[in-house]
Structure 1
Amino acid sequence: AAADGTAPVELGREALAAGAAPRAVAIDLAPLAGRVIRLDLDAAGGGVALSGAGVFRDPQPGEPAALARIGQAKAKNAILVMIDTLRADHVPPYGPTRVQAPVLGLIAERGTLFERFSAVEDWTKPSCATMLTGLYPNTHKAQTDDVRLPASVRMVSEELKAAGWTTAAFIANGYVSDKFGFNRGWDQYTNFIRESKPTRAENVFGRALEWIEQHKDRPFYAYIHTIDPHVPYAPPEEFLKLYDDKPYDGPIVPSKTHLQVEEIKKRTMQVTDRDKERLVALYDGEISYHDGHLGSFLKRLDELGLLEETLVVVTSDHGEEFWDHDSVGHGHSIFQELVHVPFLLMWKGVIPTGRRVADNHDHTVIVPTIFEALGLPPPDYCEGRSVLPRALGREEIGPHAGFSTHQGDRMAVWSGRHKFQLSGAVRGALFDLEQDPHCRTDRDDERPITVRYMRALLGSFMGAPDKRFWRHPDLRRANVGEVAAERAQSDPELDRQLEALGYLRP
């Protein structure tokens, strides 16, 4: 066995007498668990050759979906809380940060946190489409600004409504709207941007709570999409002062940050270190403001007795850059500041408390996880697998990886401590996230074995005609088929609303 930076090690040797019958040789690989290694099989001697390839076997095999259901309760409801623009390293459960977000910390303590979770894209529409369909962006095709979610793609709301659940969506982002095909399958659908309603977290959570209290006696699925801490960064003054209480007379204006971030990105607005400090403080203040209203929402659910019968999923669509790679905002790269997002599961009395899962996953796991918690088989076309078994402490067999893309022209795979990014057909970069969490140093030339492994993972994924089977053969499930992209119709009013979020330039 060989690994980057170490001399090859012999794991086993078997001597055979001339003319002896072939026999299997078993090698225990447990001491190498968690490492990227190259295995070399060699035969030496006159007239001797290897008669077969290696076979890898788990010592305790099991069917994960079946194991997960042993002794498992069935949730009555599911709630997906999607916090727009929340990067993982500004969330206390994910490591040292100045940001005060005790509720997110409490969710991690009372549920399961997934440490290595990837957004499938670096902006809202494709990531949310994946969360609401279980399909990768290259499959559902809602990747660029001018297309909508195709009518041929089934949404989780449509599937659950057909199965007898009451469904509701409370959305504060204009990209997850009727124009782009997201208004299907909901008994209650509110897009606060489209309806010109206040988009603050208190308003979104408040309206969602009203609906839940009215429908709590029936099984329900609720998608709650809050917009804080997206631009404009304009937290109440008390939350800004948590991170910047010094006098400031610079050009950064909270109500104009949706415009200023784009100007900074395009180098048409120059900023000082003090201006940068102010901008990050505004973002962090938004996180703390949002956290309080998330807490009020969960407290009321607990008072209603709903947390015992509801799977609560908390995640984000993408992060936000603050000069990590010489830019700001989002929608322009697949570095960690934009695609490493929080992912937490909470289900009182069922999901173990305080568990941290180090496996790599991405947004495609959300739909099958919700279905499994509700006691339903996931739709056959889902391209991810439920992570409920991992939250319950069961091991998962097979390679662990999360995939991210930027509108299909850049790809990244994150597996274990390494991340590999591919730009174009050939050019790649390898990062060791334990030594280099901000992806400053390319290790591509230093670690050829790891690069080969990461390229194999990415190649298996990109080359798979059916993304469900890139790592787990299950040919009984039906293929979603080729999806054709659909153009979105022009809508000047929505364009104006998206301009207010900094997506489009006036």
Structure 2
Amino acid sequence: MRNVVFVVFDTARAKTVSEETAPALTTLADEGTVFENAFATAPWTLPSHASLFTGLYPSEHGAHGGHTYLDEELRTLPEAFADAGYETVGVSNNTWITEEFGFDRGFDDLRKGWQYIQSDADMGAVVRGEDLNEKLQATRNRLFDGNPIVNAANILYSEVFQPTGDNGADRSTTWIRNWLESRSDEQPFFLFCNFIEPHVQYDPPREYAERFLPEDASYEDALAVRQDPRAYDCEDYDITEREFRLLRGLYRAELAYVDDQLAQLREALEATGEWEDTLLVVCGDHGENIGEHGFFGHQYNLYDTLINVPLVAHGGPFTDGGRREDLVQLLDLPATMLETVGIDDPELLEQGHSRSIHPDSGDDERDAVFAEYVAPQPSIDRLEARFGEIPDRVRAFDRRLRAVRTSDYKYVRGDDGFERLHDIERDPSERNDVAAEKPEQVRTLRQRLESNFDPLTEADEGEEVAMREGTKERLADLGYL
């Protein structure tokens, strides 16, 4: 193998990825290797991607709700490829995965996929204006923040030329295709791409939505459902079961849309003669609750709906690899990619816990996987500032959580004494807490957690990154602030 292409379907949960919602990914799985039991280390973007890039758990790499930056002393996957002589290119459509939060290290070029022309100034406030007056006001406020010509071009693209329902994926795929066609040297490449469309807000193109919505609902009905996970958590409004069905339809449509972008990416690799020499890895960075367990979004808990994600690899030893049911972590991908292309990077591998899942690897298979929720994001203080008095149920989420999951059981423990045990074989949806019935199993898994991590104490809170105003607005729209 020569090249590596690493694609993240942001917010893609394993239970919703199927031949219906993701035919291109299903074909890739049929031709390659699909990992049925792949798990993220965290339920949201920043810590999960930091684990993908470093091989460390969130409490170790420190990028989480209390410290929103990937520290410079950590070795990253793109740095390993760059130092091995690879051209390293990234296209991110998630605001967290940008240079502002330390994710540009090792990349020759890390682009913001939602921008037509790359710029530090984000014109998202214009795009998100709900009427013409809001858009004009935002344009007056932001046009001269940096280069006004570049800003005007980005506004024009977003308002006029960007496909309806697209949040950067089409622009990203087009740019990648053009980049592949323009390459003339024989240097191998590492390409990273994050597609964000399955993330709130769910607003897929009409033709995709109509494939997945109930027969008694229109596209307009579905888009009219309020999508504000933090407000829902804080009981600022309610969502009926019918409305959740509409939201699930929109979510499935978003997966189908990015799956079509994956198909186009594959076509570009084939057309440029790179397909046979490329390891392609596709995963979700975390999942989503859409009414399950009483939640909307992907904060405050570690249910499998949030940490069980799709993972498919194709190329070289993964071609015709079938379906694997062994437990794997997304932080196993650095060791796997490096072994597959023959790169030895002791600094990256020795700093973390990445185990290669290459079919010929000598690394031991996992008998358990782990996940952490180090600090609430947004914090309880921010929720109080926005909503005033918040429910006791939400106040209880101001805690640190850890989970250990085997093939049979899942144990979750909080630094406030909270604990749950789920019998995964009998209760895969994790509806019933059986901790009181199985105290010996609780003790065994509690010891597994304690042996894998330092004591469960208060999260170390470092300085948060001083965000640009446009970044704050974009993250707020994604439900993080």
Pairwise same-fold verdict (TM > 0.5): yes
Task: Please say if 1:388 is aligned against 2:365.
Answer: no
Q: Which of residues 90, 93, 98 in structure 2 aligns to 1:177?
A: 98
CA distance in 1, matches of 2:324, 2:462: 35
Runs of 5+ consecutive residues of structure 2 not aligned to the other structure: 123-153, 155-161, 376-399
Report deviation, 1:155.
Answer: 1.9
CA distance in 1, matches of 2:98, 2:231: 26
TM-score, scaled relative to structure 2: 0.78
CA distance in 1, matches of 2:307, 2:279: 24
Q: Which of residues 266, 277, 280 in structure 2 aligns to 1:309?
A: 277
Runs of 5+ consecutive residues of structure 1 not aligned to the other structure: 1-74, 94-98, 466-482
Aligned twin of 1:421: 412
Task: Please say if 1:293 is aligned against 2:214.
Answer: no
Query: Structure 1 or 2: larger helix share?
Result: 2
CA distance in 2, matches of 1:364, 1:320: 19
Q: Is the 8 A contact 2:326 2:365 kept in 1?
A: no
Q: Which of residues 210, 213, 220 in structure 2 aligns to 1:241?
A: 210
Moved more, 236-245 or 349-358: 349-358
- Counterpart of 1:78, as a letter, is V
Aligned twin of 2:13: 87
TM-score, scaled relative to structure 1: 0.74
CA distance in 2, matches of 1:398, 1:498: 37
Q: Which of residues 310, 320, 323 in structure 2 aligns to 1:342?
A: 310
Q: Is the 8 A contact 2:114 2:169 kept in 1?
A: no
Q: Which of residues 450, 471, 474 in structure 2 aligns to 1:494?
A: 471
SS in 2 for 1:242: helix
Aligned twin of 1:230: 199
Aligned twin of 2:125: none
Matches within 5 A, 1:179-194: 179-193=100-114
Aligned twin of 1:370: 337
- In structure 2, do the counterparts of structure 1 residues 255 and 276 end up closer, same or farther at CA, with 3 Å as the change threshold? closer
Q: Is the 8 A contact 2:7 2:193 kept in 1?
A: yes
CA distance in 2, matches of 1:147, 1:289: 30
Task: Please say if 1:458 is aligned against 2:449.
Answer: yes
Moved more, 394-403 or 230-239: 394-403
Task: Please say if 1:153 is aligned against 2:121.
Answer: no
Task: Please say if 1:440 is aligned against 2:440.
Answer: no
CA distance in 2, matches of 1:192, 1:357: 33
SS in 2 for 1:431: strand
Q: Which of residues 104, 108, 127 in structure 1 aligns to 2:29?
A: 108
- Counterpart of 1:157, as a letter, is P
Q: Is the 8 A contact 2:54 2:352 kept in 1?
A: no
CA distance in 2, matches of 1:416, 1:443: 16
CA distance in 2, matches of 1:491, 1:222: 27
Q: Is the 8 A contact 1:168 1:188 kept in 2?
A: yes
- In structure 2, do the counterparts of structure 1 residues 262 and 376 end up closer, same or farther at CA, with 3 Å as the change threshold? same
CA distance in 1, matches of 2:353, 2:306: 21
- Pair member with larger Rg: 1
Report deviation, 1:385.
Answer: 3.2
Aligned twin of 2:237: 269
SS in 2 for 1:148: coil
- In structure 2, do the counterparts of structure 1 residues 165 and 485 end up closer, same or farther at CA, with 3 Å as the change threshold? farther
- In structure 2, do the counterparts of structure 1 residues 388 and 303 end up closer, same or farther at CA, with 3 Å as the change threshold? farther
Matches within 5 A, 1:351-370: 351-370=318-337
- Counterpart of 2:449, as a letter, is L
Q: Is the 8 A contact 2:66 2:464 kept in 1?
A: no
Q: Identity, % of aligned pairs?
A: 28
RMSD: 2.6
- Counterpart of 1:498, as a letter, is L
Report deviation, 1:388.
Answer: 3.5
CA distance in 1, matches of 2:175, 2:43: 28
Structure with more relative contact order (C-alpha pairs < 8 Å, separation 6 or more): 2
CA distance in 2, matches of 1:178, 1:395: 35
